[in-house]
Structures are given as structure tokens and as C-alpha cells.
């Protein structure tokens, strides 16, 4: 019997990357899972992996659409409750670094887009899910970023949205703890996902980015795989973590503690 047998989990942005790996792992642990994204093809791929992991077809619900659309957010909650009668875990994973088609991540247009996707949608979905989470004494995990804790000017507004999300997590933990609802954030470092390709990076550019940015600034010398984040989410959502709330859980391979200098240079 899996850890999440008879539990209902919502994972937004589960058509790829961390969200997909998380949905698959929850399915493997016996959960009924609502998956969400904008690509039907990729959502069907997630569903296929979940079935291969042991999920029953009737325990998978697909909701398509953008989290910018409040009707989509309502559908995520309402369709989940209609299908599964409850909500135990909400994983707010859907997010973006840059609006498709834009070349300047720090433009005002991108600021508005990023705040809507990374922050406003999470606030809205959380409010919609609260009555159901209160009934089950459930929990929420927001997927933030190490950039909320470490300046990175090339994507200033993305970092700003994640810093705000962290503080939303802290406040929600205080507000909803008395109702029996836990709220935490997971702040990953560099992850092997589609994010960089979605903003126009070619394979060659991505390789160069790894060699010049990721590898030298991460003590473990690599990016993480999505499954490594999924395992942390499973723990945070489980009864094993039932005294953890309001936490900003960093999983970054040591990026946050790297001094940002060439450590091979000897002091004279």
C-alpha cells in the first residue's frame, strides 16, 4: 500500500519537468492525481507514465489551460472535487521565467506576465482549494526557486515573483496552521527541465550555459533531475513531515552557499 492511498493530489504544470516527475511519483504511491498543463500531447505523456507506474485510469484527471485564466483555476478545483470528492495536497508547480516571444526578461510586459503566472495564480488557486484542504487537514507546497534567495539580475522579475511566493508561503503557514493546513515551499537550484528551451535556448546554448554558469557555481557540479525534486515533495506532503510548515526548503546542490569566486586561486 502506497503512502498516498486514498489521497487526492493536484499538481499544476505537470506536463513536463518537476511537475511530471511529481505526478508520476504520487501515482506510484497510490494517490488519485489531477494533472494540469497547456499541452494535451505532453499531458497524455504524463498520463502514460503514471499508468506505467501503477495508476488506475480512473485515478487520473487531466485539466488543460493556462493558470492566467481564472476559469481554468476554478476548473482544476471543481473537476477534482467532482471526480475524487476531496483534496489532500496542492502542489503549485506551474510557473514561467519569461513570456513566450519576449526577448527582454526584465521588460514591464514580462513583469506583468510573470506576476500573474508565478504569484497571482498561486494565490487564487490556494484560496479556491482552502475549504477542501481544511476538511482533510491537507497541505500545500509551492514550487519557488533559489533565485528568491540569491540575486540574479538577468531575470530580476522572476526572482522577485519567487521571493513574494516564499513570503506568501510563510504567511499562509501562520494563517492556516490553526485549521490544520501545512504550507511549505521547495526552492530548487538548476534543474534539467524544458524551461531554458522554452525561452529560446538551443541545445548548444544550453550546453554552454551548463559549462559556464551551472557547473562552476554549483558545488555538486551538476543540475538536478526532476525526480530528485519529486522525492522531496513526496516527503513534504506526507505524514513524515507533519510538523513542518512555513519552511523554505532549499535543494540547490550548494548553489546558495557558493562564494562566487574561483576557489582554485591561492591566497598569497
pLDDT in tens, 28-63: 999 999 999 999 999 999 999 999 999 999 999 999
Residue 108, pLDDT score: 93
- Flag whether 215 is in a domain: no
Residue 205, pLDDT score: 64
- Flag whether 209 is in a domain: no
- Flag whether 221 is in a domain: no
- Flag whether 266 is in a domain: no
The residue ranges of the chain whose pLDDT is under 70 are 193-203, 205-206, 209-210, 212, 261-268
Whole-model pTM: value is 0.92
* Per-residue DSSP letter, 191: B
User: Does residue 2 sit in helix, strand or coil?
Assistant: coil
Q: How many domains does the chain have?
A: 1
- Flag whether 22 is in a domain: yes
- Flag whether 204 is in a domain: no
- Flag whether 101 is in a domain: yes
Residue 267, pLDDT score: 45
Distance of CA 126 to the CA centre of its chain: 14
pLDDT 10s digits, 244-267: 999 999 999 999 998 876 656 554
Closest CA to 43 of 63, 18, 22: 63
Q: How far apart are CA 167 and CA 17, in angstroms?
A: 24
Bridge partners for 248 per DSSP: 185
Which residues form the domain of 246? Answer: 8-195+226-254
Residue 62 · residue 47 · CB < 8 Å? yes
Count of helices and strands (H, E) across the chain: 10, 7
- Flag whether 79 is in a domain: yes
Q: How far apart are CA 144 and CA 164, in angstroms?
A: 9
CATH number reported for the structural domain that contains residue 99 in this entry: 3.40.50.720
The residues that are catalytic are: 158
Bridge partners for 249 per DSSP: 186
Amino acid at each position: 500500500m502506497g503512502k498516498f492511498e486514498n489521497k487526492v493530489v493536484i499538481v499544476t504544470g505537470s506536463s513536463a519537468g518537476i511537475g511530471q516527475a511529481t505526478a508520476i511519483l504520487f501515482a506510484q504511491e497510490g494517490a488519485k492525481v489531477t494533472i494540469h498543463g497547456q499541452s494535451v500531447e505532453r499531458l497524455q505523456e504524463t498520463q502514460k507514465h503514471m499508468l506505467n507506474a501503477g495508476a488506475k485510469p480512473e485515478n487520473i484527471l487531466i485539466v488543460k489551460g493556462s493558470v492566467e485564466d481564472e476559469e481554468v483555476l476554478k476548473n482544476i478545483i471543481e473537476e477534482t472535487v467532482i471526480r475524487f470528492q476531496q483534496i489532500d495536497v496542492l502542489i503549485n508547480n506551474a510557473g514561467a521565467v519569461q513570456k513566450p516571444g519576449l526577448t527582454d526578461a526584465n521588460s514591464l510586459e514580462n513583469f506583468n506576465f510573470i506576476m500573474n503566472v508565478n504569484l497571482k495564480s498561486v494565490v487564487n488557486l490556494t484560496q479556491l482549494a482552502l475549504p477542501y484542504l481544511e476538511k482533510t487537514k491537507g497541505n500545500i507546497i509551492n514550487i519557488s526557486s533559489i533565485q528568491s534567495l540569491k540575486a540574479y539580475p538577468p531575470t530580476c522579475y522572476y526572482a522577485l515573483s519567487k521571493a513574494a511566493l516564499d513570503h506568501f508561503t510563510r504567511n499562509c503557514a501562520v494563517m492556516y496552521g490553526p485549521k490544520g493546513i501545512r504550507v511549505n515551499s521547495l526552492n530548487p537550484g538548476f534543474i534539467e527541465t524544458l524551461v531554458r528551451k522554452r525561452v529560446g535556448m538551443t541545445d548548444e546554448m544550453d550546453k554552454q550555459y551548463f559549462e559556464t554558469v551551472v557547473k562552476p557555481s554549483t558545488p555538486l557540479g551538476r543540475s538536478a533531475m526532476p525526480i530528485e525534486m519529486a522525492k522531496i515533495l513526496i516527503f513534504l506532503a506526507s505524514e513524515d513531515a507533519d510538523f513542518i510548515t512555513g519552511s523554505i526548503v532549499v535543494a540547490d546542490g550548494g548553489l546558495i552557499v557558493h562564494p562566487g569566486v574561483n576557489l582554485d586561486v591561492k591566497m598569497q
